Structure 1
Amino acid sequence: MTTTPAAPAASPWGPLRFAENGPVRLAFDEWTEQTGPSARTGPTGGEPLLLATGLGANRLWVPDGLCRMLAEHGFTVVRYDQRDGGQSTHLPATAARNPIAALFAKRQSAYTAEDMTEDAIAVLDELGWDSAHLVGVSLGGAVVQRVALRHPERVRTLTTMASVPGDVAGLRALPYIRLSTLAKFARLKFPDTREGAVAAGIEVTRLLASPRRTFDEAAARAAVEANPDGGVYDQEAQSRQIGAQWHGPSIDGIDRPLLVLHGEDDPLIKPRAAKAIASRVPGARLVPLPRVGHEVPEPSWERIVTEIRQLAQSS
């Protein structure tokens, strides 16, 4: 008796696309899975929502389950890779070769934080979206704050998670960062192979997880084997991202509806960073996430999506 191999599961994501900001190409894709018998897909199928990823991480680190829930709550979801991450353009090396060195460097010549801000706008332009709800995780949270300062007309609502204030960089960011955790990242050394990327992904996931939840190594391995992202240990690329300096106004000038999410157990970015953002932006709402580290674990998805939906409805 012969059996026919099962067909691979269809991806819930549409085709890989690119936006351009000068010489930089930004990789992005759109959630297209039907979420119900009457669901629609594409830019007219829901309120536009753009997800910005964190330091070094590609867009696939945003959990599919979270994106599915956002789609079910009426959003058209697009995620993109920051420059120097994923399938977006990677820039030439600079003097700073690890994130700690980049924090202490006086000058970063690769690009500015304004350049990274315009990357997000380039993706919106390529999509044909006049405005969107912006959601940024970690570094992505700082980026979307800066979008709201430079292009408020393009922002419907703003959600940051596990982020520092968008107007700090370099030494000014130090009060919000746990250097002991950043040092652990700097010590990670893995071969530049698929196996190395998997091993690095597991260790990074372990470092960022809440210590109040049992670490599920099997689940972590399955996730990183499906997404062996070398960006999580590409310290040179991370140093260019973290070293990008902001020259714009303070976040006190943000006038878009803002939701500030932060894991109570975040081992990388101190919760005081979220309190600083919420205290400085008029009308911002701070929502601590219990038993959450510098991550987006499944038990937090419902709360996150509910809060983002309520923010959209109130805007």
Structure 2
Amino acid sequence: MSSPSDGPWSPVQWARNGAVRLAFDRWAERTGGEPLLLVTGLGVNRRWFPDGLCRTLAAHGFAIARYDQRDGGESTRLPPSAARGPVSALFGKRGEAYTAEDMADDAAAVMDALGWPSAHLLGVSLGGAVAQRVALRHPGRVRTLTSMAAVPGDAAGLRTLRYIRLRTLAKFARLSFPDTPAGNIEAGVAVSRLLASPSRPFDEPAVRENAERNTDGGVQDQQAQGRQIGAQWHGGRIDAITRPALVLHGEDDPLIKPRAGKATASRIPGSRLVLLPGVGHELPRFAWERVATEIRSLADTAG
């Protein structure tokens, strides 16, 4: 899902949740439409949402904003914790840095800064779990929920492992590159390769060009990833979500098994599952129109 910004985004703005500052911006090419907040995944910055997808969503009548989650991008980085990485966060001590409720409240804080009383949510990967939790914790702020490539938002610890391809996670944990701009580029290419659908040729030149334009060090900051994935949820079960919901999942996802999407959709009342052929743990160009059309249909049904 590595496709950095080359479109017209507003200058970076800031929201605050307590001591945490959250960087966000708006799609400025087309500003009218229904508010849609993009919630990004583990470790990566907001620029991993492809501009082409954002342009497509805008054409379907959405006003788009995206933000960096705490411990990602330009948002506040928290102090080191006992979890040394995402794998140890799953198996070891968790949650001493902050909670999953804090991360859900971050999304609400961004909506406050945007002046949005409510918004549609699109969360991908970890962002999908966060978006589910926002719908539980702040239902009045959520018009519709779209969760993509995510585990159920109330899964925790070892219960999460049934949904994760451990071989891919182990490869992810073993990635090691210099903490330099060049090293971040190589890490971005390697992560994109791991997350891409194995049924399609991997376009390394295009991926490398994208990585050179978005040298995101978060892809190899395992301490930050450990804090994000270690944030424990103490709230309700996703069976209690009352907002109109859509669950998207790539049929070829090499990291999160499609059974995770099926489990999520089976438990959120009234939700709909759409499996995307040829899609991995990514947002490839050929899927943009389908994703935008499905989210538009959900919004129209809710309206």
2:219 corresponds to which residue?
A: 232
2:168 corresponds to which residue?
A: 181
How far 1:107 sits from its partner (Å)?
3.2
Are the equivalent residues in 1 in contact too, given 2:83–2:93 (CA < 8 A)?
no
How far 1:169 sits from its partner (Å)?
1.7
Return structure 1 stretches of 4+ with deviation > 2 angstroms.
none
1:93 corresponds to which residue?
A: 80
Matched, 1:162 2:149: yes
The AA in structure 2 aligned to 1:241 is Q
How far 1:10 sits from its partner (Å)?
8.0
How do residues 139-288 of structure 1 correspond to structure 2 at under 5 angstroms?
A: 139-288=126-275
Are the equivalent residues in 1 in contact too, given 2:136–2:240 (CA < 8 A)?
yes
The AA in structure 2 aligned to 1:62 is F
Once residues 145 and 86 of structure 2 are traced to their aligned partners in structure 1, the CA distance between those partners, rounded to angstroms, is 26
- Which whole-Å deviations, capped at 9, do the CAs of 1:194-236 have from their partners, x for residues lacking one? 0000000000000000000000000000110010101011100
Structure 2: segments with no counterpart, 5+ residues = none
Q: What SS does the corresponding residue of 1:136 show, helix, strand or coil?
A: strand
TM-score scaled to structure 2, two decimals? 0.97
State the Cα RMSD in Å. 1.0
Q: What SS does the corresponding residue of 1:79 show, helix, strand or coil?
A: strand
Once residues 266 and 223 of structure 2 are traced to their aligned partners in structure 1, the CA distance between those partners, rounded to angstroms, is 33
Matched, 1:68 2:55: yes
The AA in structure 2 aligned to 1:76 is A
Once residues 223 and 166 of structure 2 are traced to their aligned partners in structure 1, the CA distance between those partners, rounded to angstroms, is 17
Once residues 207 and 94 of structure 2 are traced to their aligned partners in structure 1, the CA distance between those partners, rounded to angstroms, is 36
Identity of aligned residues (%): 70
Q: 1:301 to 1:11 in 2, by over 3 A?
A: closer
The AA in structure 2 aligned to 1:30 is R
Matched, 1:18 2:5: no
How do residues 70-149 of structure 1 correspond to structure 2 at under 5 angstroms?
A: 70-149=57-136
Are the equivalent residues in 1 in contact too, given 2:82–2:93 (CA < 8 A)?
no
How far 1:108 sits from its partner (Å)?
2.1
Q: Greater Rg, structure 1 or structure 2? A: 1
TM-score scaled to structure 1, two decimals? 0.93
How far 1:106 sits from its partner (Å)?
3.6
Q: Which has the higher contact order (CA 8 A, sep 6+)?
A: 2
Once residues 113 and 94 of structure 2 are traced to their aligned partners in structure 1, the CA distance between those partners, rounded to angstroms, is 31
How far 1:27 sits from its partner (Å)?
0.4
Matched, 1:289 2:285: no
Structure 1: segments with no counterpart, 5+ residues = 1-8, 35-40
How far 1:95 sits from its partner (Å)?
1.1
How far 1:32 sits from its partner (Å)?
0.5
How far 1:96 sits from its partner (Å)?
1.1
Q: What SS does the corresponding residue of 1:163 show, helix, strand or coil?
A: coil
The AA in structure 1 aligned to 2:286 is P
